[in-house]
Amino acid sequence: MTSILGFAGFIVACFLAAMTGAFFRPGEWYERLKKPSWRPPNRLFAPVWTILYVMIAVSGWLVWREFEFAGAVLPLAVYALQLVLNAAWTPLFFGLHRPDLAFVDIVLVWLSIVATIVLFLPLHVGAALLLVPYLAWVTFATALNFAVWRLNSSTT
């Protein structure tokens, strides 16, 4: 039962991070921005992020299940940091209309994901590997954020 409640806690934490997307929507401002030709359609983002957030939750839960918080303080703290940084990106980009600040944030997200993978790897290989698609998507999202920022640097 504790394991199920723990898993639920990780799911809730990940979807709380995702909730910023419900409050800060792309809207007209984003639609007016110049975007690179390789940007995927808007409809792709929600399903991709949903799958990634489930994988992120499972990853954290696997480490917690084996080591609990006391046995994996630093790895789980860095895991929590990447969720907080992830949650901050949407308000920065869509809320404040600041692709520049969002870019700084997403670089920090990327670095914190790498750190989480490195810290999870000796504890639970599966948990570390579950974060690789997240890292790949955030790598792509970082390039997209940078491109949008640069294409619109005179208007944002």
pLDDT at 146 over 80: yes
- Express each pLDDT in 26-79 by its tens digit: 889 999 999 999 999 989 999 999 999 999 999 999 999 999 889 999 999 999
CA 2 to chain centre: 26
Rounded CA gap, 18 and 65, in Å?
23
CA 143 to chain centre: 14
pLDDT at 156 over 80: no
What's the whole-model pTM score?
A: 0.94
Count CB-CB contacts under 10 A for residue 30. 15
Rounded CA gap, 79 and 140, in Å?
20
Contacts of 16 (CB under 8 A, 6+ apart): 87
- State mean pLDDT over 102-106: 98
* Closest-CA residue to 56 (of 90, 4, 10): 10
pLDDT at 101 over 80: yes
Residue 26 confidence (pLDDT): 87
